[in-house]
Chain A
Amino acid sequence: MWEHVLTIFIASALINNFVFSRYLGLCIFFGVTKKMETSIGMSFTFTAVMLIGAALNWVIYEYVMIPFHLGFLKIVIFIGVVAAFVQAADTIMKKVTPALYYKLGIYLALIVTNCIILAVPLINAEEHYSLFESMALALGSGLGFSLALIIMASIREKLELADVPKSFQGLPISFVLTGLIALAFLGFSGMITL
């Protein structure tokens, strides 16, 4: 069982990296990677929200939605749970740790509407993962996303100094870069066979 959990973790972080293999969460990916500082802040916030959101959604799916045959309401309920949790976390953080709030608070609002946050509970539900497997997927996806953010931020900070043709400056060259990194991530695909 632990072997399976580890497999899910590595697969979601590297092989099925959400940004480079599934092309999800690109808006945040391009939005916050202009600076290393913001992308690190986003990485922490994102992974934490992902873990807690996936756990909450797993409990609700397992103990409310399955007994009541409400699988078809997955999308609505999962989004609602994540939004409520993030809103509550936002309010609590503002009071309890203002310093952390001012560092990470702006990312919380962005995360509510993020597709990876929704994709992880949906995959958990689809595959009927156990709690540990769900957590492994959430942690793996969060770390995979953080990896993508940090790789991209470190390249884009250097890109500021590069002599990029005018029509490619900004977003276009970032998309080209993402494609190249995605090619590199294809190299992981043979690592594990599920």
Chain B
Amino acid sequence: MYEELSNVLIQILSQALSIFTHKLIPLVGVGGSVETLEKVPWEYVVFGLVVLAALGVVFGVALAIVAARFVVKTDPKVDLVRDVLPGANCGACGFAGCMGYAENVVANPEVAVNLCAPGKAAVAEKIAEITGKKAEKVDPKIARVFCQGGASLSQRKFIYTGVQDCAAAVLAAGGDKSCEYGCLGYATCMRACPFDAITMSADNLPIINADKCTACGKCVSACPKQVIELALMSKAVVISCHSRDKGGDTKKKCQVGCIACGICVRTCPVDAIKVENNIARIDHAKCIVCGLCVKKCPTSAIHDYHTARPKAIIDPAKCAGIDACAKVCPMNAISGELGTAHRVDQSKCIGCGMCAARCPKKAIDMVESVNAGSSHAASEKVGETVGV
């Protein structure tokens, strides 16, 4: 047993030694000129080693010379930023890879630090630290559902018994819902959401969980009716209807559809709402999220995602009693004699904030109501601070 093993070992060793003892090596190369030979002369092996080593040295020296001769000085910050970035080279920032973004964010003061989508706020903060750019408030987006006509509030054209999926239902004459702009309610968006942020209500409408939604847009592309859109989280007043039918038709099909009556247009204190193609749209650049239109809409088609609104409180010490707030208040909640401190009737105040904006003495504070405690409301209210 041991003798056999030692014999094998000796054979292997003698083979290895033969390289150095100038014997012919019984080896056949792959391809090239050697394959025709039965035995490869040892010189070829030495040639190979020498030539490869020489080529390696030549290339190494040449590259070193080139690198030294054509050196490009780079900002050390670029390397720091590159190390912070995830290195996925996904291109979500709009530059060619992480290195491209690192170079641009360091070199160009107008490139924002929060463009890295996979890195999110943590990476943005680090880049802001390295580049010395300012941290600014960033308004996050959220998916909004533009339909409130659930199963109990809207009509059906026919009874659909096919595959329980919106993409399938829409193939059957555009879906079973009478309103061709509304949510079909077969939860395709819920299944598309990678973050479990969508649940279906008892009335078969999707509900977006503001804490979980990252505004990735998967539900937007999954919905065959384009009912879901991405919108700014802070603009919490939304006309939740997409119906372009005439007012009367909309009314027949759905109890909570926009009938393009124009009351919201007249109500809006900042002229942010327009009616076009039988649908009211809010210009979110102008909207001050006062919530007046929500109160006035006759079909409740406008939805206020603020679950609790603040109340106006007048500081009597600062109030000059000039009546400006009382005139501007849409609910007539402010009363008081000219020249004396005014009062706000808390039961009437809807927290629109127009008096606070109007008061020249800055005597009015918008105070969060005491019972506004739910995390949902808190996360809806203000954007988180992310470096820009």
Is the CB of B336 closer than 8 A to any CB of chain A? no
- A84 lies within 8 A of B63 (CB): yes
Mask, B27-43, CB within 8 Å of A = 1, is 00111111100000000
Q: How far is the CA of A91 from the CA of B47 in the complex (A)?
A: 31
- Check: A77 CB closer than 8 A to any chain B CB: yes
Residues of B within 8 Å of A87, CB to CB, are 63
**A18 to nearest B CB, angstroms?**
20
Given A80-B56, A91-B70, A96-B70, the answer on whether A70 and B62 have CB atoms closer than 8 Å is: no
A2 on the interface (CB 8 Å rule)?
no
Contact of B32 among A72, A80, A92, A106 (CB under 8 A): A72
Q: Does A64 contact B (CB under 8 A)?
A: yes
Q: How far is the CB of B94 from chain A (nearest CB, A)?
A: 14
Given the interface pairs A64-B51, A95-B72, A106-B96, the reply to whether A72 lies near B62 with Cβ below 8 Å is: no
> Counting CB contacts under 8 A, is B44 at the interface?
yes
Q: In chain B between 51 and 78, which residues have their CB closer than 8 angstroms to a CB of chain A?
A: 51-52, 55-56, 59, 62-63, 66-67, 70-72
A65 vs B34: C-alpha distance in the bound complex, in angstroms?
Answer: 12
CB of B103, distance to nearest CB on chain A (Å): 9
Q: A80-B56, A96-B70 are in contact. Are A72 and B29 (CB under 8 A)?
A: yes
A10 to chain B, nearest CB (A): 28
Question: Is the Cβ of A91 less than 8 Å from the Cβ of B31?
Answer: no
Within the assembled complex, what's the spacing in Å between the Cα atoms of A55 and B241?
67
Contact of B47 among A70, A88, A96 (CB under 8 A): A70
Point out the residue from A69, A70, A88 that lies within 8 Å of B63, measured CB to CB.
Answer: A88
Complex Cα distance A69/B34, Å? 7
List, in ascending order, chain A residues with CB within 8 A of B48's CB.
Answer: 68, 70, 72-73
Tell me, in angstroms, the Cα distance from A149 to B18 when the chains sit together.
52
Task: Assess whether B32 is in contact with A94, with CB atoms less than 8 Å apart.
Answer: no
Residue among A66, A88, A96 having the largest count of chain B Cβ atoms under 10 Å:
A88
Q: Once the chains bind, are B33 and A69 in contact (CB under 8 Å)?
A: yes
Residues in B whose Cβ lies below 8 Å from that of A76: 52
Residue total for A at the interface (Cβ-Cβ under 8 A): 26
B109 to chain A, nearest CB (A): 19
CB within 8 Å of A: which of B94-119? Answer: 96-97
In whole angstroms, how far apart are the Cα atoms of A90 and B51 in the complex? 25
B70 partner, pick from A69, A70, A81, A92, beta carbons under 8 A: A92
Could you tell me if A106 and B52 are in contact, using CB atoms closer than 8 angstroms? no
Given contacts A80-B59, A106-B96, contact A73 B70 (CB under 8 A): no
A179 within 8 A of B: no
A72 x B35 contact (CB < 8 A): yes
A170 within 8 A of B: no
Chain A residues within an 8 Å CB radius of B29: 71-72
Nearest CB of A to B48, in Å: 6
- The distance from the CB of B74 to the nearest CB of chain A, in whole angstroms, is 10
A91 contact set on B, CB distance < 8 A? 63, 66-67, 70
Closest chain B residue, CB of each to CB of A94: B72
Chain A residue, CB-CB nearest to B56: A80
Name A92's contact: one of B55, B66, B96 (CB within 8 Å).
B66
**A88 and B62 in contact (CB under 8 A), knowing A72-B29, A106-B96?**
yes
Q: Which residues of A contact B35 (CB under 8 A)?
A: 72
Residues of B within 8 A of A75 (CB): 31
Of B31, B51, B71, the residue contacting A95 (CB under 8 A) is B71
Q: Which residues of B contact A80 (CB under 8 A)?
A: 52, 55-56, 59
If the complex has contacts A91-B70, A92-B70, A106-B96, are A73 and B63 also in contact, measured as CB distance less than 8 A?
A: no
CA of A73 to CA of B33, assembled, Å? 10
B107 nearest CB across to chain A (Å)? 12
Chain B residue contacts of A69, Cβ below 8 A: 33-34, 44, 47
Distance between Cα atoms of A81 and B35 in the complex (Å): 23
Pick the contact of B52 from A73, A84, A95, A96 — CB < 8 Å?
A: A73
Instruction: Specify which chain B residues have a CB less than 8 angstroms from the CB of A77 in the assembled complex.
Output: 51-52, 55
Name the A residues within 8 Å of B44 (CB-CB). Answer: 68-70
Decide if B70 touches A84 in the complex (CB within 8 Å).
no
Q: CB-defined interface of B231-272 with A at 8 Å, one 1/0 digit per residue?
A: 000000000000000000000000000000000000000000
CB proximity of B299 to chain A, nearest CB, Å: 36
- Shortest Cβ distance from A76 into B: residue: B52
CA distance A98 to B71 in the complex (A): 12
Contact with B along A80-109 (1 / 0, CB 8 A): 110010011001101110100000001000
Q: Provide the residues of chain A in CB contact with B56, threshold 8 Å.
A: 80
Candidate in B32, B34, B44, B67 with the most chain A CB atoms within 10 angstroms: B32
- Contact flag A73-B72 (CB < 8 Å), given A80-B59, A91-B67, A92-B66: no
CB neighbours of B66 from chain A (8 A) = 88, 91-92
Pairs A–B under 8 Å by Cβ, sample size 20 = A60-B55, A64-B51, A66-B33, A68-B47, A69-B33, A70-B48, A71-B33, A72-B29, A72-B30, A72-B31, A72-B33, A73-B32, A73-B51, A75-B31, A87-B63, A88-B63, A88-B66, A91-B66, A94-B72, A106-B96
If A66-B33, A68-B51 are given as contacts, then 13 extra A-B residue pairs at C-beta distance below 8 Å, sorted by A number, are A68-B48, A69-B34, A71-B31, A72-B33, A72-B35, A72-B48, A73-B52, A77-B55, A80-B55, A91-B70, A96-B70, A106-B96, A106-B97
